[in-house]
Amino acid sequence: MLLKSKKIKLELFRDNLLKDCRGEKILSIYWFFVLGVVGLGVVWGVLAFYGADSDVRILEANVLSEKLLRCVSENENILDESFDVFVECDLDKNIFEEEEIFYFRISFLNEDEEKLREDILGGVYSFEETCELTGKVEAKEYPKCVERGRVLSLDSQRVYVKVLAASNQRGEIFK
């Protein structure tokens, strides 16, 4: 009798197991659909992140102009012709001369907008003309330019310092 009751329990278990398996086929189709959607979402996200260009030209032009303005405003001898912006502002001259991706111009004007000394220039000089065209023509390959100014008081005179900075370093695709 004990063997017969175990046999009945085994048959009941097998019948219940077969009855519960009927919905698995339908569930597995939806399960693969959900896995496919999640997988495609992950692939799309990775491609969107790693395939994006990093255009840092405007950021670098902003940083360069701020660094030059801060340096010029901290130095007292900016009107001397012996003022070397590369030494005083801790700029690497080789980057501006050899790599040809940056440009800057520092102008020193009085209240009547007359030049107090010659402009300080560095980098690729054609960028200045390109910066003037940027407002008129839309082009992807042109350098990005930033122009900033600050008024300083030097030796009881007001000096307007104007900095034009440009960068043409596009960055790279994230790898």
Domain ranges of the chain: 2-50, 57-167
Quote the pLDDT of residue 174.
47
CA distance 174 to 172: 6
Domain 57-167 has CATH 2.60.40: no
Number of H helices, E strands in the chain: 6, 4
pLDDT tens-digit series, residues 53-83: 677 888 889 999 999 999 888 887 888 888 8
Fill in the DSSP letter of residue 21.
T
CA distance 124 to 116: 24
**Signed CA dihedral, 98, 102, 105, 106: sign only:** negative
Question: Which residues, given as ranges, of the chain have pLDDT below 50?
Answer: 1-2, 174-175
- pTM for the complete prediction? 0.66
